[in-house]
Amino acid sequence: MDTTPADNTAANSVKTCYSAEEIYALLPHRYPFALVDRIIDYVPGKQAVGIKNVTFNEPHFQGHFPGHPIMPGVLIVEAMAQVGGIVLMQVPGVEGLCVFAGIDKVRFRRPVVPGDQLVMTVELLAMKRLRFGKMHGRAEVDGQLVCEGDLMFSVVESTTAPQGK
């Protein structure tokens, strides 16, 4: 099937990359809990790929662990969830705050250390009544699997999220 130039223009107008400032406009997380530096690929209603540049000056490395800094696994999972939030917050009809409802089958394969670039791919698996979502997340460093698992979300009312459109 051939597409017309108008179709190509519409397809090209879909935003596929987001800067930190654009992420801040979509998610409520702020320092020190904003864990996504950039979205490098976004497919509306399906998936997003985000990056987190891991630096030595992050506060959790002071105590996890002195002399042998390792990014806590819960923060890796949270970073994946924030990438998933980029997908959920742009699903038409979803309004409010997306919060964790559960995690399943999460496994950690190797440590993440300062200097690593965490590349996270999060795919929307299911959405129910625009209130509950299930996603599969996968995090890699240098092409090696670091963590993967299923993330469940609930959309709750928020006084800070825009109400109505």
Active site residues: 64
Q: How much is the CA Rg of the chain, to the nearest whole Å?
A: 17
Cβ–Cβ under 8 Å, residues 98 and 90: no
Residue 123 tokens, joined: 């795919």
Q: Which helix (H) or strand (E) holds 24?
A: helix 20-26
158: which residues sit within 8 A by CB, 6+ positions away?
28, 96, 97
Residues, the chain: 165
Dist. CA 130–CA 94, nearest whole Å: 6
